[in-house]
Chain A
Amino acid sequence: DAGVTQSPTHLIKTRGQQVTLRCSPKSGHDTVSWYQQALGQGPQFIFQYYEEEERQRGNFPDRFSGHQFPNYSSELNVNALLLGDSALYLCASSQRWGYAGGLETQYFGPGTRLLVL
């Protein structure tokens, strides 16, 4: 049983460019959350997708957007990249809200390391 997968593993972009990161959830999971982890810090919640809709959003600007597909996979898009967007981007999958009364365990993928020059 494959766990959460993410692609690409590494990415180098320049300021102002746009980037798309991809995530495939663990088998049986239908909810995908995205987190940004700056060097030496804990992951910060970006947003969560369920039933192809953004359900909740953290304190990130509109430059960060996402999408969830019918097969539950997801994309994270970042426009107009800034140097400060350099980080490890983590995808986490879980079962749907309410499946375990709001206590659904989130499993993380290996992340995509983005470097903005």
Chain B
Amino acid sequence: ETGVTQTPRHLVMGMTNKKSLKCEQHLGHNAMYWYKQSAKKPLELMFVYSLEERVENNSVPSRFSPECPNSSHLFLHLHTLQPEDSALYLCASSQLWEDRGVHEQYFGPGTRLTVT
């Protein structure tokens, strides 16, 4: 068990649906991340939250909307997705020290998303 949990583990949704992915970290970290992993492509960083503020958004389409209500929880709200959005969505957390940068990242098991 990595200390980072994600729900649901599998999700099938239509293009008109609205759904949310949830991530929770039990490690006391102050930074959380959403990554997308598509077949045969490297991991792509989507969003970074540091101390509950979004500090990075890597040109992600607006149909993906992150939310970080506190340092332990991170959500990814999904609406009107496209079939090419089908992928494994991974959440990660780390401890960000101002003077020393980020240390190790710890990942959750991921949510396998299929858009039909």
Binding between chains A and B: no
